[in-house]
Amino acid sequence: NNFFIVRSALSTINNSSSSPQLFKIGTIVELYRDESYFATPAIITSTTSNDSDGNSVITMQNTITGSTYSTIETSYIHPYTQYTDGTRASCNVSPPNSNEVYMTPCVVNTSFVRENSGLILYEVSYLNVEDSLVRETLPFSRVQRRRQPLVTEL
């Protein structure tokens, strides 16, 4: 299993501008810094009250790549909000149930929440390797929001 490990003092969590609700197991969050190009979706999978240094440890799983990070500051953890129509993103368009990650630029056409599970789904558009426009429905776990404009867009 690949996880993000977040170490921070309990007082930082309780006194931060972030809601303690943000750190509950199963919560979907976005990870980014001010200069981050993308906001990476993650799910909080566990919390422990103290590690050997007296810090709180929050474990998150990156829903796109499964990359592992040893430390992330709580200021980089943000509430996840459903993306609006027209959001520019990067989508993992590799085959379902594949361990491969193939990211490509995409645009969110629309979004909806599955009633029975609460799963956020996005209908996205992207150009495939043959330069044909593809419309596909992907779960939130395969779409990461672009935060910064391209240099050519400035």
- What are 99-135's pLDDT values in tens digits? 899 999 999 999 999 998 889 999 999 999 999 999 9
DSSP 84: P
Instruction: Name the phi and psi angles at 21, rounded to 5.
Output: -55, -30
Vertex 10: Cα angle to 140 and 14 (nearest 5): 70
Contact of 99 with 79, CB cutoff 8 Å? no
pLDDT given for residue 45 in this prediction: 83
Please, what's the largest Cα pairwise distance for the chain? 54
Contact of 6 with 60, CB cutoff 8 Å? yes
Per-residue pLDDT band for 90 (boundaries 50, 70, 90) equals very high
Mean predicted confidence (pLDDT) in 32-49 = 87
pLDDT given for residue 66 in this prediction: 78
Residue 150 in tokens: 């391209």
Residues 50, 20: Cα–Cα separation, whole Å: 16
Question: How many of the other CB atoms lie within 10 Å of CB of 115?
Answer: 7
SS3 91: strand
User: Global pTM?
Assistant: 0.78
Q: Who wins on pLDDT, 54 or 102?
A: 102
N-terminal to C-terminal alpha carbon distance within the chain: 39
Residues 2, 69: Cα–Cα separation, whole Å: 9
Residues 90, 75: Cα–Cα separation, whole Å: 23
How many residues in total does the chain contain? 154
Per-residue pLDDT band for 53 (boundaries 50, 70, 90) equals low
